[in-house]
């Protein structure tokens, strides 16, 4: 029961349904205990360090003394209650739900098994089991005390050196965070760029920023072997190079474990990447069963909660629009933030869209110029020329994720680009870089 599952269970219980919530670990799932919330506390701390360094350019002279203790303490005490979900469980119970601690497994479309208990279901089953780290087949890795995101979040000190395997969003966030706290970080990515699913311009910019932060980015180098030694771990890449470090962090994505969920009992092949659902999250071929969030291919807490709202309405018989993939936002919380929504230019072209793009530099906007140091970023817009609407956008900058919201609205509502050009953009805000990108789009 992550954020999506907890929301469904709580709201249905409040609506008067007899609801049983099943969770093996902590109620609330990955996000509040090992992912979104604690990692953003880490980001907040590292951003403060970076701003402290910028005092030397903007406001005088500063001396920075790094200390991980306040970060670890805040995560332990404020975010996770020392990884205790008592408050969350009591909140769910007070809403009228019954909580069962255990490993739930489907037993057909009308039953769930938790240990020795068989729960008969008369109305609905909502599968919200999330995902687990995808651990790559690296020789010797099983003999290494490696971190995933959980180990990194629970760290009580910063390792002197760290190898991160995987240059996606999670790997990039941890790379910058630990580097800014003094670790010597090497980031390995098997594909041509870090953040390979994002626009090339974002990947290249982040690569340059990481170099300034002291992160050794090695693209097109996949880890193939690990070995523990007296001084830590040595990682060998497919290019024959080696890198030694005190710690290894594996950040190579996540996967749904459908075999553990028991999806074969509802007609879903356990080898599928996720559970196939329709636009109201109903499991195909299994009436009375819904699936939400990561296990349904959603990804991100905001998608799980979006799914949850649809399922709540559907179960209660209330009309509701279905989910759409048109405007799914995503943010990588590096400095600068990398926000994106919809299709990249490459994805749009591969989909047969008649593409036109516009781009502007944040540093050339009035607010970016005022911001000065730490003002790297850009806005990139991807337009369907034939329809005159945006199908994708990337917002990179000091508040790239915040600027993304208006672009998400524009794509979801299919606001004509001509209308966006005639909007009034407050001066001097970072949003004016969107206006400049629209002007470039017109050219």
The C-alpha atoms of residue 208 and residue 222 are separated, in whole angstroms, by: 20
Report whether pLDDT(323) > 90. Answer: yes
Report whether pLDDT(215) > 90. Answer: yes
Q: What domains are there in the chain, each with its CATH number?
A: 3-28+85-131+256-315 (3.50.50.60), 141-253 (3.50.50.60), 329-442 (3.30.390.30)
- Cα separation values, 397 from 126, 308, 332, 340, Å: 38, 31, 11, 12
Q: How confident is the model at residue 442 (pLDDT cuts 50, 70, 90)?
A: confident
Q: What is the DSSP letter of 76?
A: I
Ranges assigned E (strand) in 40-97: none
3-state secondary structure of 381: strand
Give the CA angle between residues 95, 96, 99 to the nearest 5°: 100
Residue pair 46/176 in contact by the 8 Å Cβ criterion: yes
Where would I find the H helices in 224-330?
A: 258-261, 301-315
Residue pair 55/48 in contact by the 8 Å Cβ criterion: no
pLDDT digits (tens, 9 = 90+) for 388-408: 999 999 999 999 999 999 999
Q: What is the mean pLDDT of the chain?
A: 97
pTM: 0.96
Kindly report the backbone phi and psi dihedral angles of residue 421, in degrees, each rounded to the nearest multiple of 5, phi listed first. Answer: -65, -30
The C-alpha atoms of residue 380 and residue 173 are separated, in whole angstroms, by: 22
Q: What is the DSSP pairing of strand 161-165 with strand 329-332? A: unpaired
pLDDT digits (tens, 9 = 90+) for 231-266: 899 999 999 999 999 999 999 999 999 999 999 999
**Structure tokens given for 152:** 């990194």
Where would I find the H helices in 214-360?
A: 258-261, 301-315, 345-350
3-state secondary structure of 204: helix
């Amino acid at each position: 029961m992550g954020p999506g599952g907890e929301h469904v269970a709580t709201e249905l219980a409040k609506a008067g349904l007899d609801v049983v919530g099943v969770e093996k670990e902590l109620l609330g799932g990955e996000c509040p205990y090992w992912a979104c919330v604690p990692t953003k506390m880490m980001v907040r701390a590292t951003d403060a360090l970076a701003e402290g360094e910028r005092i030397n350019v903007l406001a005088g002279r500063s001396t920075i003394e790094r200390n991980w203790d306040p970060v670890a303490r805040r995560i332990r005490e404020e975010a996770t209650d020392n990884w205790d979900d008592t408050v969350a469980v009591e909140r769910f119970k007070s809403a009228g739900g019954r909580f069962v601690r255990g490993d739930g497994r489907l037993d057909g479309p009308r039953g769930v098994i938790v240990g020795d208990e068989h729960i008969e279901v008369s109305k609905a089953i909502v599968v919200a089991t999330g995902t687990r780290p995808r651990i790559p087949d690296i020789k010797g890795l099983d003999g290494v005390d490696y971190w995933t995101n959980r180990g990194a979040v629970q760290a009580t000190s910063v390792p002197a050196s760290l190898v991160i395997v995987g240059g996606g969003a999670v790997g990039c966030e941890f790379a910058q965070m630990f580097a800014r706290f003094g670790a010597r970080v090497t980031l390995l990515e098997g594909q041509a760029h870090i953040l390979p699913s994002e626009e090339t311009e974002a990947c290249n910019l982040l690569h340059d920023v990481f170099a300034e932060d002291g992160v050794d980015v090695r693209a097109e180098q996949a880890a193939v072997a690990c070995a523990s030694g007296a001084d830590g771990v040595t990682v060998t890449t497919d290019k024959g190079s080696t890198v030694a470090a005190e710690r290894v962090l594996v950040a190579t994505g996540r996967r749904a474990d459908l075999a553990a969920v028991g999806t074969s009992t509802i007609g879903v092949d356990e080898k599928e990447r996720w559970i196939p659902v329709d636009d109201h999250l109903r499991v195909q071929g299994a009436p009375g069963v819904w699936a939400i969030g990561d296990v349904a291919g959603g990804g991100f807490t905001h998608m799980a909660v979006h799914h949850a709202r649809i399922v709540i309405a559907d179960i209660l018989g209330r009309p509701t629009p279905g989910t759409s993939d048109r405007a799914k936002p995503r943010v990588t919380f590096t400095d600068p933030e990398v926000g994106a929504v919809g299709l990249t230019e490459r994805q749009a072209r591969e989909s047969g869209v008649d593409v036109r793009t516009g781009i502007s530099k944040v540093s050339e906007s009035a607010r970016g110029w005022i911001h000065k140091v730490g003002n790297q970023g850009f806005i990139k817009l991807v337009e369907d020329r034939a329809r005159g609407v945006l199908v994708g956008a990337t917002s990179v900058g000091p508040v790239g994720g915040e600027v993304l919201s208006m672009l998400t609205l524009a794509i979801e509502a299919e606001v004509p680009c001509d209308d966006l050009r005639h909007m009034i953009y407050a001066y001097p805000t970072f949003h004016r870089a969107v206006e400049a990108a629209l002007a470039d789009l017109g050219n």
